[in-house]
Structure 1
Amino acid sequence: MAVAVSISPAKITTTKPIIITQFPDNPKPLILEQCKTVKDLNQIHAHLIKARLISSPSVAESFLESAAILLRHQPMDYAISVFEKLNEPNSSAYNVMIRGLTLKNFPNEAILMFKKMKETSVQPDDFTFPCVLKACSRLRALEEGKQIHGQFIKLRSSGFAENGLINMYASCGQVELARKVFDEMSERDIFSWNAF
């Protein structure tokens, strides 16, 4: 006896190619809104190369942010290959890479990226320290965290970074040091209290 089987056609979804006739003066929103898949990333990357915009620091940073952070389930290979081709990456580009590496569970590589940043004489900014301190927290890398604390003191970064110090010391089991950082803060916000 033959059995009839009814098969309904599967819903096939395709992504439409991104059509860019002209890049806006500030392509950041376009890049961040349009890059949803690696295919989108490849298309935007091709446009950026063709238009010779990939060497612009703000454009490169936005593109790296999509490759390293927004496409969460993609490996860091693509972002690393783009980063390595930048002529002179600035602190923002390094910050994106450090954040992406930490976010995707490569805290060792994030700390190495910070060391590379220092070796190439790129000055950390207010956003660098929280990013690299988060990597130290994940690794419970107390010695590296203390070295970064020393650099933080020299540059006197923002309270945002102090919150990262509190979290790093607490994660490493150094509650006394976390308390010392907390007590020495000139201003404490809700994030400082939560970190402590």
Structure 2
Amino acid sequence: MLTDILPSAAISGERLTGPWQGLGIEPEAIVHPESVEEVSAALRWAGASGVRIIAVGSGCHLPALWQEGRFVVLSTTRLTGIEIYEPADLTLTARSGTSLADIDAELRTHRQWLPFDPPHVLDHTLGGFVATGQSGPLWMGYGELRNHVLGMTIVSGDGRMLKLGGRVMKNVAGFDLLKPIIGSHGRLGVITSVSLRAFP
């Protein structure tokens, strides 16, 4: 059971709200991990139990919840905080549940910004934004989101933590495994942190 591997404070029996209301479906539980280790434990449990995990950030996008079968919603809203910000290098690393509004506010203190402008962009969490692969009209001048993600940490379906890419713009080590993750809607793993390139 989930209660055997996660703290009771990380598990709730709350009902789905927002765009999920009215679909007539409910998860077995909604979990709110506060660390990568708790995300990993939840995914290992799900794999062993035959339960689907659906990762959700701020809930701006509706994943395929209408499919049949057991599922648990994994909310990243407690995985918050900017881990590293180097204004001189124009790079920032934040946990996946950090809101883009908070990131934008921090960048503005150094007159920097992110060139992404889909509708309601500041309502998104960083991980949800990357998982859905949005960019907005500014991509024509600045390039797509995938061009500005330098690295990320994800937890795979079997609970392994994987570090992809890096935290600097000149990172050429190994294969580029970032791009398949961006826009994958969580199908390839749960994003737990992201490193981005900022603009002056």
- Report the TM-score range of the alignment, normalised by the length of the smaller protein: under 0.3
Q: Normalised by the size of structure 2, how large is the TM-score?
A: 0.25
Higher relative contact order (CA 8 A, sep 6+): 2
Q: Normalised by the size of structure 1, how large is the TM-score?
A: 0.26
Which structure carries more strand by proportion? 2
Which of structures 1 and 2 has the bigger CA Rg? 1
